[in-house]
Amino acid sequence: MHNSSTGPASKPRVGSSQPSDSSFKRKRGVFQKDLQHMMYGFGDDPNPLPETVALMEDIAVEYVTDLVTVVVLTFFYVFYLQVHKAQDIASKRGKLLTEDFLYLIRKDMPKLHRCTELLSMNEELKQARKAFEVDEEKLATTD
C-alpha cells in the first residue's frame, strides 16, 4: 500500500493557509461530533476512526479559512480599486469630493443608502453645533 504522505512530491496541506503555531492556535476536536454524523450520513461507518475525523476536521477548517481569506482579500482589492478610481477622478479636477465616492458605490444600494444616511446625520450635527456655538456667543456678549 502506498502512503502518499511520505512521498517526495507530497506537501503538507493541513494548516498551510493558517499562521504559524506560535501566533495562532486552533482548538482541535470542536467539530468532531458533527463531522462524525455528517460522515455517517454520506455513507461512512457510524463510528469512524478518530484519525479520519481529525483529518476531515483539518480539511474542513482549512477550506473555510481559505474561503474566508479569499473573500476578505477580494473585498479589500475591490475597495482599493474604488479608492483608486476616486483618486483618478479627483486628480483630473484637483479635489476629492464626497460625490466621487457616492458615484462609485451607486450600484450597491445598501452602501449608498447608508452613506447618504450618515452624510445627512453629519449635516444635522454640524447645524446643531453651529446653533449651540451661536447661543454661547450671545450669552458671552451679554455678560
pTM of whole model > 0.85?
no
- Report pLDDT for 104: 77
- Report pLDDT for 21: 46
pLDDT band for 3, please (50, 70, 90 cuts).
very low
Q: Which fold has domain 28-94?
A: Histone, subunit A (1.10.20)
Condensed to tens digits (0 to 9), the pLDDT of residues 43-98 reads 999 999 999 999 999 999 888 888 888 888 888 887 787 777 777 777 777 776 78
Asked if pLDDT for residue 141 goes beyond 80, the answer is: no
Asked if pLDDT for residue 109 goes beyond 80, the answer is: yes
Closest C-alpha to 111, from 68, 69, 78:
78
Closest C-alpha to 85, from 109, 117, 114, 107:
107
- The residue with greater pLDDT, 138 or 22, is 138
Condensed to tens digits (0 to 9), the pLDDT of residues 12-44 reads 444 444 444 444 577 788 889 999 999 999 999
**Domain limits, the chain:** 28-94, 105-143
- Report pLDDT for 10: 44
- Report pLDDT for 105: 82
